[in-house]
Structure 1
Amino acid sequence: MIKVTLICAALAAASLAGCAGPNADVHTARTAGAASATRALQGEPSYAFARMPSEDDSANRQRVEALLRDALAQHGFVNAADKSAHYLLSAAYDTRPATISVGGKECAAGECERRAEAPFALFGGRAYRHSLTLRFFDRMGGEERYKVSAVIADRNADPLQAMPLLVKSALAKLPFDEPSDWRVKLQMGEAGGAPNVISVEPLPTVDP
């Protein structure tokens, strides 16, 4: 089952309108066999980027990896050669038109993606949903050790505009531990500088 966070249209409109700083929803998945996310990342803090065959060395990809290198360095992680790195890091990102709904529900894989898009443009502009998923794999054994995803909505279709916020949110804690779902409140940096984290709070549990 895929857990989807559905935002009240009024709150989403206010957020997209810029009444407050941007918020990102962060979800972590506990690795099988790991007592906690903290223990899952107790190995040497070195990594190398792992790319799927479909991921080319585009300018966008290089920009994303540069942002991640800078952010991970602040947590003591070192970008190393593939053969000497303790972890292989997969970074996947996506931008698509957002769906605004009220309430929350569990849905099977594939069902949520088929939901109809919002039939209107919020305050004259279409909303977009940007996501970033980071997965740390043990280089020697290939096991996934840690996975974290960040999601944010705005009115800009360019994924690179949202990427500094997504990276900052996904790595606001490294690692996030229990619970699995968090809300990261951010503040845009001055004069195009890096965004700042204002608060990191667990999301309330939604009753079925």
Structure 2
Amino acid sequence: MNIDRWTRRATLLLATLAVLLSGCTTYVTTQVTAFSDWNGNDATRTFAFTRAPDQQNNLELATYERLVANELAAHAFREVDSANARYLVGLSYGIRSDLVTVAEPVYYNPWPGPYWGRPFDPWGPWGPFPTTYVNQTYPVFTHLLGIRITERASGKEVYNVTARNSGGESSLLRAMPYLARSALADFPLGNGVVHTVKIPRGKDGGPVNEMAATGGAPAAMPVPASGVKATE
């Protein structure tokens, strides 16, 4: 057997797999829940953000408001002074950390040396030995964004949507673009609708302009203003 030939083949195979994996698209999956009394009859959707007294100079909140404003603009909303706004938009947000324990397999091979594959090694790289498991603990972070829209004149709540996702991302700031886009992906959703939105993750870690929504509600048509499209 020509060992150098097998080594070259293995190297080429690993290189090919690396190229293929680098082209795979990863998604951020977000669960969206909406409660709605939206009539959809307004031709001009003017809005202003509303804040609690202790949030007036909150830079973090201002950053998230800009993300939400961009998503609202894709649905014909226009930000104006609060005195002239038809709607007031309030945000709530947060992050929670939990620990998840997973049993992972550990393989033992008392026979050192390279693995040549079948038919040379019929048991595979780990031999005919039983698999043992060890518990590994990992942090999981849950990110939350709530958007509440009320009529300024009457104070009536007309739309309340919550977006929630979980994963290894420890920064709420980096998760917020996905939450904002998911929350308003198919605006306006029906009352009591729960569905899932999947957004492709871009090379820079942020969302790209393609999105798929599944479960709970019919998909919205593409929105030309933002380049975002949703499919059932």
TM-score, normalization by structure 1 = 0.69
* Residue of structure 2 in register with 1:182 after alignment: 195
Which one of the candidate residues 130, 140, 146 is aligned to 2:159?
146
Query: In terms of mean alpha carbon deviation, does 185-194 or 175-184 score higher?
Result: 185-194
* Offset of residue 61 of structure 1: 1.2
* Residue of structure 2 in register with 1:24 after alignment: 30
Secondary structure at the counterpart of residue 53 of structure 2: coil
The answer to whether the 8 Å contact 1:25/1:150 transfers is: yes
* Residue of structure 2 in register with 1:106 after alignment: none
The percent identity for this pair of structures is 25
1:27-46 map, 5 Å:
27-31=33-37, 37=38, 39=39, 41-43=40-42, 44-46=44-46
Letter in 1 for 2:68: L
1:90-169 map, 5 Å:
90-98=90-98, 118=99, 120=101, 125-169=138-182
Following the alignment from structure 2 to structure 1, what is the Cα–Cα distance between the partners of residues 202 and 27?
11
The answer to whether the 8 Å contact 2:35/2:191 transfers is: no
Secondary structure at the counterpart of residue 63 of structure 1: helix
Secondary structure at the counterpart of residue 57 of structure 2: coil
Following the alignment from structure 2 to structure 1, what is the Cα–Cα distance between the partners of residues 96 and 206?
25
Q: Deviations over 1:125-157 (max 9, x none)?
A: 410100101010000000001111000112222
RMSD, matched Cα: 2.5
Following the alignment from structure 1 to structure 2, what is the Cα–Cα distance between the partners of residues 54 and 42?
34
Structure 1 regions of 5+ residues with no counterpart? Answer: 1-17, 32-36, 99-117
TM-score, normalization by structure 2 = 0.62
Letter in 1 for 2:101: F
Secondary structure at the counterpart of residue 172 of structure 1: coil
Higher RCO structure, 1 or 2 (CA under 8 Å, sep 6+): 1
Structure 2 regions of 5+ residues with no counterpart? Answer: 1-23, 104-135, 218-232
The answer to whether the 8 Å contact 1:23/1:183 transfers is: yes
Instruction: Find the structure with the greater CA-based Rg.
Output: 2
